[in-house]
Structure 1
Amino acid sequence: MVKQERAARTREVLVRAAAEVFAEEGFVTASIAAISKRAGVSAGGLHFHFGNKTALAEAVARRASATLRTITVSRVSDGNALQALVDSTHELMELLARDPVVNAGFGLCAGTGAVTLTARGGGAGWDLRVQWQRWVEGMFRAAQREGRLAEGVSPQAAAAAVVAAMVGFGVLGAGGSRRFGPSGVTPYWQLMLPRLAAQGSLGELIPAGSGAVRASQPH
């Protein structure tokens, strides 16, 4: 049991170190030596747990995909799909800003990293951008069924616009721009919700996220 726990901790350290290096350098440029150094684990120890760099990338993608599922599945029970969507975008941007595994997971879904993962049969199932877009579109369809989506708004088109904006915020926010990243989500929704929400529904929605209201309430 002690050996298993130690092995699990080592794998956790290696996955996080790999995510940090992938996020900083990209999958292609990242080296096993850099990852093992960041983790404080010898190259031999790294290879004991992960056969190669692609196996590490797959582990990062799996972990990021699981995290994304937790912030989406937990948002579908309050009966207001548009607010669930708004809340999830706030949480996602916070994760992209502070969680290297989620950050790297999205990065691995584009470019050569995605090609490498898909070639091994794993990447297609863990493509976070596809996973995210399907969920966002599902929320717009749910809002349409609830009567909260404005007439004439296509759930598919709206989802594409939101996903593109959030990915762009993540990329530009990583570059240090204060207008993007987590701080840019509220102004985005202040601009977009009047176009997306049906008449009578806009007053129910909180662009800053319902979590912001809960946090401001006395306990």
Structure 2
Amino acid sequence: MGKHTRSEHTLELLLVSAAEQFATHGFAKATLADVSHAAGVTKGALFFHFPTKDALADAVQLRGLELVEQTLARLRADETSCLQVIVDVTHTLNRLLREDLFLRASVRITRELPRTGATDGGRAHDFYLAWLSRLWPLVDEACRNGELPPGRSVPARTVVTAAVSGVETLVWIGLPPPDVEKWLSHLWQLAYAGTPRRIRTTPARPEATRVRGESPAGHS
């Protein structure tokens, strides 16, 4: 293994270990010593890549941000309706918050180290900002292309905010995936009542929100 390849391998070990520590113990209780020990990497190697715990947390949240980008790109490639994409993103989030280590870590970091303001250099990759800053423009686009009646942009943004924060909270308290699916479906039925285009409010496929190994849930 070449020097560059070894460095990349070490970096990945550290990121996975850090995500596990942050997701399990939170930012405050996770220590750099625990991260390096779990990764099987020396402290010197850890500090070579990440001089502080803040830098490590930023890198973990950046990985979570990459997942946001990939998710949105995939769903937009398969669907022309902005409102449908928003629904599908929230159902996908229900699954990813249970399955993806980096996303779970990003939530815990955001909970413990929230942004203190939009102009004061707060955390750049915060969980809520990552998702909402990409979903709100879809609401505006839906208004422009006639999917939403005039004047519905601000109320629709409010519902999107409630959906993202609601899914995260419901997953956090341990509500089973099918129950979160039903909650989302009811929320979107209320939000999209009276819109010109018919929007599917349930997951696109049972597998879309089902955790690996879980039996399919029934849908209305």
> Normalising by the residue count of structure 1, what TM-score does the alignment of the two structures yield?
0.79
Gaps of 5+ in 2: 209-215
CA distance in 2, matches of 1:182, 1:31: 35
Instruction: Kindly indicate whether the alpha-carbon contact (under 8 Å) linking 1:169 and 1:184 is maintained by their aligned counterparts in 2.
Output: yes
Match of 1:196 in 2: 192
> Which residues of 2 match residues 66-85 of structure 1 at below 5 A?
66-77=66-77, 78-85=79-86
Give CA deviations for 1:70-109 in whole Å, capped at 9, x if unaligned: 1123333432011111111122221111111112123323
Give CA deviations for 1:10-52 in whole Å, capped at 9, x if unaligned: 2112111111111222112211122122222232332232212
Match of 2:36 in 1: 36
SS at match of 1:28: helix
Match of 1:166 in 2: 164
Match of 2:97 in 1: 96
2:202 aligned residue (202, 208, 219): 208
Q: Percent identical across equivalent pairs?
A: 30
Distance 1:91-1:42 versus aligned 2 partners, 3 A rule: same
Give CA deviations for 1:117-166 in whole Å, capped at 9, x if unaligned: x98x5x5432331231122211111222232225553x233223323332
Deviation at residue 211 of structure 1 after TM alignment: 4.3
CA distance in 1, matches of 2:137, 2:15: 30
Instruction: Name the stretch that deviates more: 164-173 or 133-142.
Output: 164-173
Match of 1:132 in 2: 131
* Structure 2 letter corresponding to 1:25: H
Deviation at residue 184 of structure 1 after TM alignment: 0.7
CA distance in 1, matches of 2:17, 2:114: 17
SS at match of 1:75: helix
Match of 1:109 in 2: 110
Deviation at residue 113 of structure 1 after TM alignment: 6.2
> Normalising by the residue count of structure 2, what TM-score does the alignment of the two structures yield?
0.79
* Structure 2 letter corresponding to 1:137: W
Instruction: Kindly indicate whether the alpha-carbon contact (under 8 Å) linking 1:61 and 1:126 is maintained by their aligned counterparts in 2.
Output: yes
SS at match of 2:202: coil
SS at match of 2:21: helix
Distance 1:160-1:22 versus aligned 2 partners, 3 A rule: farther
* Structure 1 letter corresponding to 2:186: Q
Gaps of 5+ in 1: none
* Structure 2 letter corresponding to 1:92: L
Higher helix share: 1
Distance 1:59-1:213 versus aligned 2 partners, 3 A rule: closer
Instruction: Kindly indicate whether the alpha-carbon contact (under 8 Å) linking 1:75 and 1:88 is maintained by their aligned counterparts in 2.
Output: yes
Instruction: Kindly indicate whether the alpha-carbon contact (under 8 Å) linking 2:93 and 2:167 is maintained by their aligned counterparts in 1.
Output: no
CA distance in 2, matches of 1:27, 1:162: 27
The CA RMSD measured in Å over matched residues stands at: 2.9
Number of equivalent positions: 207
Deviation at residue 209 of structure 1 after TM alignment: 2.7
